[in-house]
Structures are given as C-alpha cells and as structure tokens.
Structure 1
Amino acid sequence: MDWSQWHDDYDLPDSNLARRLQAVRDQIRQALDACPPGPLRVVSVCAGQGRDLLGVLPEHPRREDVTARLVELDPRNAASARRAASAAGLRKVEVVVGDAALTGSYRGMVPADLVLMCGVFGNITDEDIERTVGHCAQLCAHGATLVWTRHRKAPDLAPRICEWLEARGFERQWLSDPGAGFGVGVHRFAGEPEPLEPSPGARMFTFVGYDELRRRRTG
C-alpha cells in the first residue's frame, strides 16, 4: 500500500474518506470548543498528512492554546503535514517521523487533552485494538476526548470497541450511524491517567493494513 497515495481519496468530495474526515473534524472542533481555558495538548497516532487536526486548528479560536504532536511513520505524509502546519503558522504543532505504535513516542506530550486515533483500528488485529484501548489511559488526561475511527463493515467491531473503552473509564459521547459508510467514535476519559511506560515504551499495536487483514479473513 502506498500510504501517501492513499490520501488522494480525501480529495474526492463524496468519498467515504472525505465524509469520514468531515465527521472527525466536526468532533475535533467540538472537543476544542469544550476544553477549559488554558494550554491544551493534542496527540495524533498514525497522523498521516494531519488533515483532520490541520483542517480545524488554523481557524479555531483556541489555536494558540494548542501544542500538538503528530506521529507518522511515512516520511512523505509527515512532510505534507509539516508543510501544512508551517503554512498555517502553527508553530506549536510538531510532526514526528516515528513509530506511532510505541507509547514512548508521546513522551512529554501526555496526558493529552485530545487524542486522535484515526486510521488505526481498521488496520490492526482485534487483539491489538483491545491492547491499544488498554494503553489509552496513558495517553489521555482526565476529561480528555478520544476520537477514533473504524469501518462498520462486517464484522462490525465498533460496538465492541465501545465496550472495551467503557470498561476502562471512557464515556461514550458519540458514535456514527452504521449506515453512514464510515465509522467515527468519540469517548471522554473519566478516569485518572496512568504513568507512561519507560522509554521506548510499550508497543500498542502492529500496523497490518486493511487489505492484509481482509486477505487473512477470506484466505
């Protein structure tokens, strides 16, 4: 999979990716609106080109309050995100080329007020999704918003992801309709953050890719 080319579908106005992106941006905007006054931390796991956060932050009234770290393994996607942040004058947005699966990639930036886990759960095994959910308490501050995505194709795992999150102190705020053609979930962390594991940190997941996961199911 060419993960840089994969982003091209975001530019097709009626594509599922474009509609999912709009839903994610709406939830980011609402989360920032609801944050109390003062400095805010945002982290994005497998950030890609950063189109979600960087599509909201430049025009948002809280932009100067936000310090963000976007972690992305593909250097072309990271370069695109870096250019977008620079063009918007977002001096406190850091784009890191690195392994987003390691909790240590977020050292110094967590617990965060907004955590973006978009494009992750549809590309890793069910076991790794549950494992990653277990690590979210290391990433999220009390009261933080977690925005995550996962397709709603059969087998639809979104309800189970909600159960895993809610068993770990997250409260459901919103889940997109199963018929929307995409899946976006929003949870608020009502618990207390756990200490981040020592460097390099724990591995939350191994990125497999949607096509490979589908091949394994059907093969």
Structure 2
Amino acid sequence: MDWQSWHENYRSFSPLQLRLEEVCQQVTEAINAVAPSRVQVLSLCAGDGRDLLKALQSGHTSKEVDATLIELDPGLVEQGRKAFAEHGLSDSVQFRCADATSFATYQGLPKADIVMVCGVFGNVRGPHVQQLIFSLKAFCRQGARVIWTRSLNEFDDGETAAQEIRGWFAQAGFQETVFTRTPEGTFAVSSVAYGAEQTPLPSTGRMFEFSAFWEVH
C-alpha cells in the first residue's frame, strides 16, 4: 500500500477532512483534561502526524506536550518531521520509524497521558481488535485518554464493529468520555479514559496484525 498517496486523500475527500477535524478537537480536549501540566502523547500508525500537529496549532491548548509518533513508512516520517520542525516542535515531537504492531518498538517510552489510535481499527480484524485494545493498557498512565476512530462502511459492517470496540474498551477498564459520528456518518471518533492501574509492557511479541486488505480507514 502506498500510504503517501493515500494521505493525499485529505486534500479532497470530505469524510477524511471531517474526521481530521473531530480527531483534532478530541485531542485538544484530552490535552486540557488530563492531570499533568506537561502531557505525554503516543500515536500508533501516526502517518505524518497531521492530526496532532493541527491540535497543537489550534491555539486551544495551554499545556506543554511531548509526543512520540510511531510510523513505518519512511516517507511519511520525513514529511512529519519536516512539518513539526517548521512549527518549532521538533524538540518535543519525535518520530520512530518502526513497526507499530511490535511491543519491541515501544521499549523505553514513558507511560502516556494520551494514546492516539486513529485510522487503525478499520484495518484490523477478528480477535486482533480485542487484543489491541487490551494491549493499550500497557501504554497508559492512570487517568490517560485513548482517542480512536473506526470507519462505518456498510461493506465491512462498520457500525457493528464500532459497537464491539466500545464494548471491548469497557471490558479493558476504559470509560467512554466522547463518542460521535462525523456529520456525513462515515466515521466514528471516540475518546475513552483509563481508570485502572498501570500494567507492564511486554518486551516481545505483537499487539495485533493488519488484515489482508486495506480500506479508507
């Protein structure tokens, strides 16, 4: 999959633009809501990080942010690094060009106040979805927020999948704070808060596997 070309859809595809706006709003609200005055952010399969960048440039956050963005595509990583540097954020926002499915990728990172899982669940199937959700606990400080998205395409029963995701987050110890659909009804965007104790991060293994096909996720 050519993910650099895929990201060009943000220029003209209204549903993605609307999803980006909602994600940015929820990220902004989460930054302001979590307890620490300096907020630690982790983004899985981050692309070029435009959602976080847009939130940080919104002017609606009053806290300092340190972020680690995980992305395997080197072209997107380079685009993202350049964009954050242009806004004077290269010291506080770091990219890891690595496999987001592997626990080894996250070794040495601090627990996060905000975890972003945007554009991921639409490309994960079956038990791997639940496995990913339960694995997210290992990244979270108590009181952390997770922001996630899911396409609501009829061809893959997206509405049912979104409801299953909500249920699995509840089972994993997360409390839903926001759940909304974009105005065109194409995507679900949600934030959940983690209230349970911190859990250790496995040193090896995989959190999930991607499905064999790709969609506008």
Please give the alpha-carbon distance, in whole angstroms, between the structure 2 residues aligned to 1:26 and 1:209. 31
- Unaligned stretches of 5+ residues in structure 1: 213-219
Q: How far did residue 64 of structure 1 move?
A: 6.4
Structure 1 stretch displaced more, 21-30 or 173-182: 173-182
Closer/same/farther in 2, CA of residues 159 and 88 from structure 1, 3 Å limit: same
Please give the alpha-carbon distance, in whole angstroms, between the structure 1 residues aligned to 2:59 and 2:205. 33
CA contact (8 A) 1:25 1:55 kept: yes
Closer/same/farther in 2, CA of residues 102 and 54 from structure 1, 3 Å limit: same
Q: How far did residue 63 of structure 1 move?
A: 7.1
Please give the alpha-carbon distance, in whole angstroms, between the structure 1 residues aligned to 2:118 and 2:96. 16
1:85 equivalent to 2:89? Answer no
Closer/same/farther in 2, CA of residues 83 and 63 from structure 1, 3 Å limit: farther
Equivalent position amino acid for 2:174 in 1: F
Aligned residue pairs total: 209
SS at match of 2:151: coil
User: Cα RMSD (Å) of the superposition?
Assistant: 1.9
Equivalent position amino acid for 2:192 in 1: H
1:207 equivalent to 2:206? Answer no
Show the counterpart of 2:139. Answer: 139
Instruction: Describe how 1:123-138 pairs up with structure 2 within 5 A.
Output: 123-138=123-138
Q: How far did residue 124 of structure 1 move?
A: 1.2
- Unaligned stretches of 5+ residues in structure 2: none
Show the counterpart of 1:158. Answer: 162
1:19 equivalent to 2:18? Answer yes
1:26-54 residue CA offsets vs partner (Å, 9 max, x unmatched):
00010011123422210000000101101
Show the counterpart of 1:215. Answer: none
CA contact (8 A) 1:40 1:65 kept: yes
Query: Under a length normalisation based on structure 2, what TM-score does the superposition of the two structures give?
Result: 0.89
Q: How far did residue 18 of structure 1 move?
A: 0.7
SS at match of 2:192: strand
SS at match of 1:204: coil
CA contact (8 A) 2:28 2:60 kept: no
Closer/same/farther in 2, CA of residues 112 and 32 from structure 1, 3 Å limit: same
Query: Under a length normalisation based on structure 1, what TM-score does the superposition of the two structures give?
Result: 0.88
Instruction: Describe how 1:60-209 pairs up with structure 2 within 5 A.
Output: 60=59, 65-90=64-89, 91-154=91-154, 155=157, 156=159, 157-177=161-181, 180-198=185-203, 201-208=204-211
CA contact (8 A) 1:49 1:77 kept: yes
CA contact (8 A) 1:57 1:63 kept: no
Please give the alpha-carbon distance, in whole angstroms, between the structure 1 residues aligned to 2:86 and 2:127. 39
Closer/same/farther in 2, CA of residues 59 and 23 from structure 1, 3 Å limit: closer
Structure 1 stretch displaced more, 152-161 or 140-149: 152-161
